Amino acid sequence: MQAFFGSMADECFLSTRLFLKLDLALERDTVLHFFDQIRKAFPSMRRFQRRENGTLLLEETADSGGSRRWVRLDPGSIRFGHFSPQAGDDIRRLGDIVLELAPYHLTLSELDFDHMEVACGFELEYRGNHDQLLAEVFWADHPLGGFLFGDEAHHVIDAQPYLGITLTPACDLQAYLEVKSRTGTYEVRTGNYEAQPLSVMLTARKYWGVGEDQPLPATHRRMCDECDNLAASKVVPLLINPLAQAIASRS
């Protein structure tokens, strides 16, 4: 992702999920060798843990800027990501290593791939009614504003847009845009709001066996490029900037 995106929000993160049709055979030697190869490429990723649900996680300790890489193995998926990346190509480098190693070390076949998601998340901290803010920024001049701002409406409690498009004629490559509020009705009722992140999530999704399929690293890079382009041309100017300006005006 382009490096300047992180400056548009209080926090930016990137994550990838490869969903599989069959569960992974997470044998001890195989998993340790897989994670060890990743650690050789990224020496700071040396914190390894196993959670109660069986998830295996390799991550690095966050630096002073909050930047942190992680790779996770679940029974039915491979996940990795980067919180607060410092360089635009960080997620691509991590993706190249993980997705080149995974088929050989974890015995994966193209038949096993269901779909991959690459998500770019932005978080903007706001103390107030997130849904009221969303309604005023995005729905005030929309026909549905008559419902949200009608005489019957005491408070807005849900105004979270969720949109999806296909990026190819075959519909195998898709993009989704979602804004998530974290305001609860208790806060709305009492008027006591905590400063919480308002999240904007852009997700690219690729299904296998429908359109043209490429090797995992190439597919991942293409999806990162799609997110990059959509974030720069659509998400930042149409969502992030208006929200950031509205939050600043209410501070």
Under the banding of pLDDT at 50, 70 and 90, the label for residue 192 is very high
Looking at the predicted structure, is the pLDDT value of residue 6 above 90?
Answer: no
For 25-71, write each residue's pLDDT tens digit.
888 899 999 999 999 999 999 999 998 888 999 999 877 667 899 99
Average pLDDT of span 200-227: 91
Band (pLDDT 50/70/90 cuts) for residue 196 is: very high
CA distances from 224 to 91, 187, 227 (A): 8, 37, 5
The type of residue at 154 is H
- Rounded Cα distance, 106 and 97, in Å: 13
Name residue, tokens 């790779």. Answer: 71
Model pTM score:
0.90
Average pLDDT over residues 129-139: 96
Reported as a single tens digit per residue, the pLDDT across 230-248 is 999 999 999 999 999 999 9
Mean residue pLDDT of the chain comes to: 91
What is the predicted pLDDT for the residue at 8?
64
In the numeric block, which tokens belong to residue 73?
């193995």
Largest CA distance in the chain: 65
Contact in structure between 199 and 227 (CB atoms under 8 Å): no
Residue 64 pLDDT = 65
Q: Say if residues 197 and 80 touch (Cβ distance below 8 Å).
A: no
Q: What is the mean pLDDT of residues 97-108?
A: 94
Q: What confidence tier does 10 reach under pLDDT thresholds 50, 70, 90? A: confident
The contacts of residue 100 (CB under 8 Å, 6+ apart) are 216, 217
Sorted by where each begins, the domain ranges of the chain are 3-250
Sheet holding 11-20, edge to edge: 47-50, 56-59, 68-74, 77-83, 11-20, 113-127, 195-207, 173-180, 162-166
Q: Grade residue 182 by pLDDT with cuts at 50, 70 and 90.
A: very high
- Confidence at residue 5, expressed as pLDDT on a 0 to 100 scale: 55
* Whole-number CA gyration radius for the chain: 20
Count CB atoms within 10 A of the CB of residue 251. 7
| pLDDT for 2 | 44
Q: Under a CB-based contact definition with an 8 Å cutoff, are residues 241 and 247 in contact?
A: no
* Closest to 106 in 3D by CA, of 82, 81, 75: 75
Would you state the pLDDT for residue 35?
A: 96
